[in-house]
Amino acid sequence: MDSITPEVANHVLFHYGRGGYQAGGFTEQIIKAIDMADPGNRDKLALGFPGYVAAIVAIQYDPNGVDRLTVIATSGEVAA
């Protein structure tokens, strides 16, 4: 699994309205692109933005994804 930093966790949580804080304009567009991407394009985006893809996959498909990202966001530690 790719590393998710506290900053990435906060950006993704904010995008989904679950806390965190807003990313800058370019990063927000990357998050939107990953959010909308089909699996093939998401895999391509993971080449450049692995932490964001991992965080978005977690929040979309893991029932505990919001909780996991919240822990990462508030702990200040990188999660693998």
Annotate the chain with three-state secondary structure: CCCECHHHHHHHHHHCCCCCCCCCHHHHHHHHHHHHCCHHHHHHHHHHCHHHHHHHHHHHHCCCHHHHHHHHHHHCCCEC
State the virtual CA torsion across 1, 3, 75, 72 in degrees, nearest 10.
-60
Distance from CA of residue 61 to its chain's centroid?
A: 12
58-72 mean pLDDT = 96
Is the entire prediction scored with pTM above 0.85? yes
**Over 80: is that where the pLDDT of 1 sits?**
no
Looking at residue 2, what is its pLDDT?
64
